[in-house]
Amino acid sequence: MMNKAKQLLVDGEPAIGCESSSGSPWSAGLLAKAGYDWVLVDTQHGLWELDDLRTAVVAVTSAGSTPMARVQENRFGLIGRLLDDGMLGVVVPMVNTADDARAAVLATRYPPLGGRSNGPTYLAEMHGDNYFDNSNEQVFLAVQIESVEAVENAEKIMSVEGVDGCWIGPSDLALSMGLGFADIGTHKRHNEAIAHVLDICDRLGKIPGYSCTGLEDGQRRLSEGFQFVSVGEDSEFVHAGAVTTLNSLRT
């Protein structure tokens, strides 16, 4: 069993991914086929049904990418179900305290580190016969830092054993600061909060991640030292490609 995206991160390299919110396994598979290191099936804000999600795991894995999921909420059963269905990484939203982080670890890791129940389905075991022995090491756990409270508690959150890294949610972070979307990446307080989390990750040896708004933002965050970086999602790519082609034909 090998989580190729996590191995890149552990080796100090960036792992570039994208999100799939469309609910289409075909779309998720195309993102993986494009060469992204990981594809994040977004069950928090996306349109995913359980059977389609399971098909997406197969499509993404078959294309050589790492299947990951953002869970709806920090709940033991939800996280365990996604892992049993073959996800090799989970992103847990709205982690504001060390207790929230410990709850995510409890659901993600087998004992003695966590409390995950042993009962993987065929989809998890397709990653290798040694799934149970290697899961705690190979499954990637990222907690979302996306509030003022989370930034203030970032050192305590990232110090929790079993948390591999974070994934900064810049939009919700801006809203929690009383800022607007135009302030993302430009406002002094917003930038200072992001830099603070990045510094903590560097000091603690944890993986810094960021949900980027596009190509330029992705380039910026990679240059700053973020490793677990997403650069868009499938519906955005479809819309942007369609608009570009149509506008070119009409000019």
pLDDT at 46 over 70: yes
**pLDDT tens digits, 131-184:** 888 999 999 999 999 999 999 999 999 999 999 999 999 999 999 999 999 999
Please give the average per-residue pLDDT across 53-64, as a whole number. Answer: 96
Q: Kindly report the number of other CB atoms within 10 A of residue 181's CB atom.
A: 10
What is the phi/psi pair of residue 90, to 5°? -130, 140
Task: Name residue 158's amino acid.
Answer: M
For residue 185, the domain's CATH number is 3.20.20.60
Please give the average per-residue pLDDT across 30-57, as a whole number. Answer: 96
- Residue 186 tokens read as 């430009």
pLDDT at 121 over 80: no
Residue 45 known to be catalytic: yes
Provide the pLDDT for residue 156: 98
Provide the pLDDT for residue 98: 98
Please give the average per-residue pLDDT across 114-121, as a whole number. Answer: 87
Reported confidence tier of residue 15, pLDDT bands at 50, 70, 90: very high
Domain region containing 22: 4-250
CB 96 within 8 A of CB 147: yes
Provide the pLDDT for residue 123: 78
- The CA-atom distances, in angstroms, between 13 and each of 33, 114, 124, 128, 212 are 20, 27, 26, 24, 17
Handedness of CA 86, 91, 94, 99 (dihedral sign): positive
**pLDDT tens digits, 74-100:** 999 999 999 999 999 999 999 999 999
Provide the pLDDT for residue 129: 79
Report helix, strand or coil for 20: strand
Q: Per the confidence metrics, is the pTM higher than 0.75?
A: yes
Pairing mode, strands 140-145 and 89-92: parallel
pLDDT at 120 over 70: no
pLDDT at 196 over 80: yes
Please give the average per-residue pLDDT across 109-137, as a whole number. Answer: 88
Distance CA 215, CA 39 (A): 16
The tally of domains found in the chain comes to 1
Question: What percent of the chain shows pLDDT beyond 70?
Answer: 100
> What's the distance, CA 202 to chain centroid?
18
pLDDT at 36 over 90: yes
pLDDT at 126 over 90: no
Strand partners, 166: 143
Q: What is the mean pLDDT of the chain?
A: 96
Please give the average per-residue pLDDT across 45-68, as a whole number. Answer: 96
Please give the average per-residue pLDDT across 190-216, as a whole number. Answer: 97
Residue tagged active-site, from 45, 187, 196, 239: 45
